[in-house]
Structure 1
Amino acid sequence: MKTKITAFTMLFLFVLLMGCSGGDDGGSSCGKVESVTFSTTPAAVTLYFTGGNNANSFKVEYGPSGFTQGTGTSVVTSNTQVEITELIPSTTYDFYITGICSASESSAPYKLSSVTTQASQCTGTTSVQFGQLAPDQIDLQFTYSGGYAEYYEVEYGTAGFTLGTGTKTTTSFGTSSKNLTGIQASTTYDFYVRSSCVSGEKTPYVKFTYTTMNGCPKPFNLSSWIVSGSCNSGTATRAFSWSYLSGTPQSYTISIVQDATDNPAAGNTFETSTTGISISNMFCNWRVFYVKANCTGNDSSEWAGPYYF
């Protein structure tokens, strides 16, 4: 009788142990990823691997070589090929790849150690030029001295803002200009600009500061010509014109002076509601004119000029 009980007990323990046995994953049916390979660029690492049994997505955690798992940067993907971007050139990273089978079941992580990105190919200098024809818009023209830039990234805000908290925008692929709208007049802005090189690598941000024009910008494209008569006979009628692209001011004031060193506010002044005026019986020794815009209230632009005629 004792022999039968012992045999039954041993059989029960054997079945129990077989039921608990699961190989390397401690009984989990969520298989570990395998066959991991990779390729690198200066700013990215692409991982290729085979998913383990029952895994339907994968968590990739990465950080500088030697980082502690759980403290790195993580991405989750359903693909067995994943590109990790915005890395630092010539830097060594570790990767942990974990299969996810369900909300409560994951595989053991696969550790890929000591993957070094390529040396930088994006060593040129980024610069930008600012232009304004209207107080609420800015035109940006970018250049990159180190070759070809695929596009440019900009982050901007009022002077002194912290990088990462501003307004972000990019140029279209293959273009080097950007028009920004909704800009405040008479305001100093900081602009952080960087280039994206062909390799996908990006230059460091470069900071630029620019103060926008006031809400009543000055006219431009000044011109003048004789309409009729002659200056020598005292019968000359001369036309003056200019351009203005920022709305319609209440009026314009032009000033005619003898020399560019003269103060336009002390010259012969005339006022008009259009972007041009003709004046007769001018003095022949007066050879320079200025013009300013008169906007709402007492707001006037700076004098545009001098224009020699």
Structure 2
Amino acid sequence: MKKFFLILFLACLSSGCTDDDNNTNINPPTNISNTSITSNSVIINWDSGQENSTYEIEYKESGFNQGSGNLLTTDSNQITLTNLESSTTYDYYLRTNFNNTYSSWGGPFSFTILDLCSVPTNLSVSNIMAGNTSGCVITLNWSSIYDNATYEIDMRFAEEDIDDETIFFQIYTTDTNITLDRIIMNTELVVNVRTNCDDNNYSEWSEPVFFRCLRSGCNDGDISNLFADNITQNSATLSWDANQQFVYHESFDIEYGISGFNLGQGTLVSTTDTSYDLDNLPSGTEFDFYVRGICLDSNSLPNFEGPYTFTTQNDGCSIPMDLQILNTSVDGTHELQWSIIGNSDDVLNYELAVVEVDVPFNQATIITIPNNNATLVGYDFNPNNYNLLQDTTYRIYVRSVCTDGTSSIYIGPIFFTTDITCDIVDVEFVTSDMPNTISIEYSNLNDNATTEIEYGETGFEIGTGTIFGGSNGQFIYKEINNLSSGIYDVYLRSNCGNDVHSEYVLRTVTVSD
């Protein structure tokens, strides 16, 4: 009996006995392949070598010793390995288990997990506008670390899971800013974006962004910036701006007539554009016009916006042309120039109309300029002479006024912005009536200004002296004490903010002990 166990032990040593009952009659899996490799997963497929079998797979980082890897069992011809490290090569072995009898191991087989694909960040939805009756328009924007990548955009109803993909856009672009239209109105939606770094190498989805496209009816205030140009003796082009934020205007109503007419008594026309050409108008006539938007889903009509007033050209009165600013000097004077079409002898003078950008034309400042009988007219316009607001944008128009009392149309506008003016300090006195002391009194009437006082021994360079601050106001008194005897220069100037200063005022004073 002992001899039998000894023979069995020696047989195991020579043949490699294990706990598993390997049987070369059990067919191993065939046609083994790796698919759908991502930055953290892989799908392994194979063909069955034995019906009614299960399969064992052992895997780990490349080069591992079999028996130390991760062991999984499946009854399918496919298995998905997850939670893998990106940019890492793995080995795996595969065998068949038929009623606890095993085929030989196949392998090692290898695959490499892709680099980690970065998730887009800062996804936003903006510029939500009503595009047309079939939906609205939105702009999507996000940030990415990649210069060249493609992106998938998933858009769906807010209550649905990201895998439902009720509405799905797949955008193949390196641009991280994209405009989409025909988006469902009046419904809360959610959007995500992810990066496609390579075939089947996708990032995670970005954080979701919720939004809603709302369509409202036409409202008062949707129409603004009414204007008329290209005015001739019997025609004019009317234009306006229309707010399209959440509003889609199907058309616009225009009512016009002789200036001062009552709404409902003028001529009513419609257009789908934000401009309209009027013709067959009488010359030399002042007109008003009004505009309102029309929306299909409005329960009521909005009020008309306006009026804007314009005058058709008179017969025979020459028209200025090519109004422009040639040059602007240091003191803010604008060198204006325009030409004149026709006979300038019939022009008595010219009228400049100067008005703030957002102020109606009928509130313009009118400046009369005599005719010098030149076909090229120049005029030096200094805003400081006309009590205009500081740091404000204005528009300028010009027209001819003829000897028969008629006038041409206004041409323009051109635009300019006034400077911030800063008046010099009004110095009442700088004296030294007390020992080792300089007494100063001044007035600084600039709004929201401060007064800069700099002093030093006579002849010092500005910027190297001693700064002594002061406020604005009238008859401000300051003293500079504990000075040594000598001759001093004292400079004063206004600081009006935004790096705008007046010129310095210099006073020289002798200080005694």
TM superposition score normalised by structure 1: 0.50
Bigger radius of gyration, 1 or 2?
2
Higher relative contact order (CA 8 A, sep 6+): 1
